[in-house]
Amino acid sequence: MEVKDSTFVSVDPQSPDKETIRTAAALIKKGGLVVFPTSSFYGLGADAFNPEAVDKVFQVKKRDRRKPVLILINHVRELVSLVKSIPDQAKPLIEAFWPGGLTLVFKAADVLPSNLCGHTGKIGIRLAGHPVASHLVSTVGGPITATSANISGRGGCTAVVELDSHIKEHVDLVLDAGCLAGGKGSTVVDVTVEPPIILREGVVAAERIGALLQAPPAAGPAMRF
């Protein structure tokens, strides 16, 4: 893989410069990788429809290719074209916790590359909540990957100075929004089964999900998205 000199650009976390976002979006649409802020940690963005770009994500993160990569969308209506169905049990979760710290796992539509889904047939999706992430997804005009910008198995980065040198050398742009909140990542819930299964408990507590569904969700095996 070609080593690059990443460009670091400061962005206002609440009102990012439009030209900077357009530059980042153009890089993603050309198959590049962009580090961008989310509500908790810095993420690694690539065109979710581009299997070669998705492959770069796995290479840069040194990630197990059997593990799916979650994606960000900018509006709930985008779900229809990305998943095979929206189960009834997903709807109250979407209404209550999107945008926010909840990733929902659906059966992936055929339009999504198999490598994005870790060849599982499922895809984790979250509605962008951070202003920079939201503007970026909107400008790209389609979903982008949002896996943590780290080497797989290591902690997430709350500041760009924490980025691993390998990450910095192999991405095209880093959007620096300063220090992020950190803490827990998103809660991951598989809604392809009934009752839904919590694959990872994070920002949204299991009790809140159980109360909303009026039934305690099952706990499933951990799966990193």
**Per-residue pLDDT tens for 80-111?**
999 999 999 999 999 999 999 999 999 999 99
Q: Which among 63, 102, 127 is positioned nearest to 184, based on CA atoms?
A: 102
Quick one: 52 exposed, middle or buried, by C-beta within 10 A (0-12, 13-18, 19+)?
A: exposed
Residue 1 counted as domain residue: no
Task: Give the pLDDT confidence score for residue 217 in this predicted structure.
Answer: 64
pLDDT band with cut points at 50, 70 and 90 for residue 214: confident
Task: Give the pLDDT confidence score for residue 88 in this predicted structure.
Answer: 94
> How many domains is the chain partitioned into structurally?
1
Residue 100 counted as domain residue: yes
Q: What is the mean pLDDT of residues 162-186?
A: 95
Residue 224 counted as domain residue: no
pLDDT band with cut points at 50, 70 and 90 for residue 225: very low
- Assess whether the previous peptide bond of 113 is cis (omega < 30° from 0): no
Q: What is the mean pLDDT of residues 23-49?
A: 98
Q: What angle do CA 23, 81, 217 make, to 5 degrees?
A: 105
Residue 14 counted as domain residue: yes
Tokens at residue 195, please? 């009752």
Q: Can you give the residue range of the structural domain that contains 65?
A: 7-219
pLDDT band with cut points at 50, 70 and 90 for residue 224: very low
- Is the pLDDT at 115 greater than 80? The verdict is yes
- Is the pLDDT at 216 greater than 80? The verdict is no
Q: What is the mean pLDDT of residues 128-136?
A: 97
- Is the pLDDT at 206 greater than 50? The verdict is yes
Task: Give the pLDDT confidence score for residue 4 in this predicted structure.
Answer: 55
Residue 211 counted as domain residue: yes
Residue 39 counted as domain residue: yes
Share of the chain above pLDDT 90, in %: 86
Q: Which residues pair with 8 in a beta bridge?
A: 174
Residue 2 counted as domain residue: no
CATH number of the CATH domain containing 41: 3.90.870.10
What pTM was computed for the model?
A: 0.92
Q: What is the mean pLDDT of the chain?
A: 93
Task: Give the pLDDT confidence score for residue 190 in this predicted structure.
Answer: 96
